[in-house]
Amino acid sequence: MANQSVVTEFQLLGFSDIPELHILHFLGFLLIYVAALVGNLLMITIVILNQHLHTPMYFFLANLAVIDLSFISVTVPNALANSLMNTRRISYFACMAQVFFFFWAGASELFLLSVMAYDRYVAICNPLNYVKEMNMGVCIKLAASAWMFGMLDATLNTVCTFAITFCSNVINQYFCEIPQLLKLSCNNSYFMEMGALIFTALMCMTSCGLTTVSYVHIFRAVFNMPSTQGRKKALTTCLPHLAVLCLFYFSGLYACLGSTFRTSSGLDLLLAMLYSMVPPFMNPLIYSMRNKDIIAILWKLSHKNKNLSSI
C-alpha cells in the first residue's frame, strides 16, 4: 500500500484454521472472559452494597475491578464476534480506538497499583493518621490521577503509533497491538519505536520504583512489629496486592518485550492471553481467596440463595 490513507481496515489473526483448535480456542476465550466479567462485576457490587467495605482499600479495589473489566472487554468481545461471523476485519478507526482504550486501561492499572501500594504503606506504617491522610477526598483524587495518567499515556502512544505509514494491513495478533502495528511501517520506525519504548519504560520504572519504596517501608515496619498476630494480619492484607503486582508486571514485561523480539507465529494468540486476559481473570480470585471480608460476604450470599431456593 502506497500511503497511510489507503489503509481503511486491518486483518487480524484468527483463532485457528483447524476447526477443532478454532472451537477450542473460542471456548477457552469465552470461558475466561465470562469468568472475568462475573468476578469483577461481583467485586464491584459487593463493595458498593456493603457499607462496612466503604474504605480506601476497597474503594481502590473497586476501581481495579472497573479497569480490569475495561482491559479485557476492549479486545476479547471483538475477537469472539469476528470468530462467530468468520471474519478477521477491523476498521482503521476501530483499531485506533482499541489501541487507545487498551493502553488507557493498562496504564491506569499500572498507576493504580502504585496508589494501592501507597495506601498499604500509610495503613501499616502510619496507622494513627490513616483515616486523616486517606480520607475519601484524597482517595478520589489518587484514583482520578491514575485514570488521567493512563489517558495521557494512551493518547501519546496512540498518536505516535498511527502517525506512521502502513505498508500492510495484516496484524499478527487477535487484537490491535502496538508492537505488531509498528512492524507494518513503510518507513524506518526506529525512532518511533524507541520513543514509545523509552516512554513506556520510564512510566513502568516510575510506578515500580514508587511501589518498591512503599513495600520496603512496609516490610521494615512489619518485621519490627512485636506481635506475631499483628505481623500476620499486616502480611495478609499485603499478599494479595503483591500477587496482583507480580502478575501484572511480569505479564506487562512480556507485552513490551515479547511482542517486539519474538517471531510472529500462531503461538502469539495463546501467549497474548498472558497479559491481555489472565490479570483481569485472576485479580478477583486472588483478592477473594485472601480477603476474609469478601469471603464472609460471599458465604452469606451463597447461604441466602440456598435458603431462598429451599422455600
Q: 60 pLDDT band (50/70/90 cuts)?
A: very high
Q: What's the rounded Cα separation, in Å, for the pair 152 and 254?
A: 22
Tell me the residue length of the chain. 311
At 3 the pLDDT is 46
Q: What's the rounded Cα separation, in Å, for the pair 301 and 286?
A: 19
Q: 258 pLDDT band (50/70/90 cuts)?
A: low
How do residues 236-249 score in pLDDT, each as one tens digit? 777 777 778 777 77
3-state class (DSSP) for residue 171: coil
Residue type (1 letter), 165: T
Q: Burial of 80 by CB count in 10 Å (0-12 exposed, 13-18 middle, 19+ buried)?
A: middle
What's the total number of domains in the chain?
A: 1
At 234 the pLDDT is 76
At 2 the pLDDT is 44
Cell (9 digits) for 168: 500492510
Instruction: Reply yes or no on whether the pLDDT at 298 is more than 80.
Output: no
Q: What's the rounded Cα separation, in Å, for the pair 149 and 142?
A: 11
The partner residues of 89 in beta bridges, in order of sequence, read: 11
How do residues 12-45 score in pLDDT, each as one tens digit? 887 767 777 778 878 888 999 999 999 999 889 8
Q: Which of 250, 268, 293, 265 is nearest to 61 (CA)?
A: 293
Torsions phi, psi for 283 (to 5 deg)? -55, -50
Q: What's the rounded Cα separation, in Å, for the pair 102 and 257?
A: 17
- List, in order, residues 6 or more apart from 275 with CB less than 8 Å away: 251, 252, 254, 255
**Secondary structure of 191-257 in the HEC alphabet?**
HHHHHHHHHHHHHHHHHHHHHHHHHHHHHHHHHCCCCHHHHHHHHHHHHHHHHHHHHHHHHHHHHHH
- The CATH code of the domain that includes 169 is 1.20.1070.10
Pairing of strands 9-11, 89-91: antiparallel
Q: Which residue has the higher pLDDT, 284 or 295?
A: 284
Q: What's the rounded Cα separation, in Å, for the pair 240 and 310?
A: 35
Residue recorded with cell 484514583: 143
Domain that holds residue 296: 4-310
Compute CA distances 260 → 15, 172, 179, 193, whole Å: 21, 12, 6, 10
Please tell me the pTM assigned to this model. Answer: 0.85
The answer to whether the beta carbons of residues 272 and 53 sit under 8 Å apart is no
Q: Which residue has the higher pLDDT, 258 or 192?
A: 192
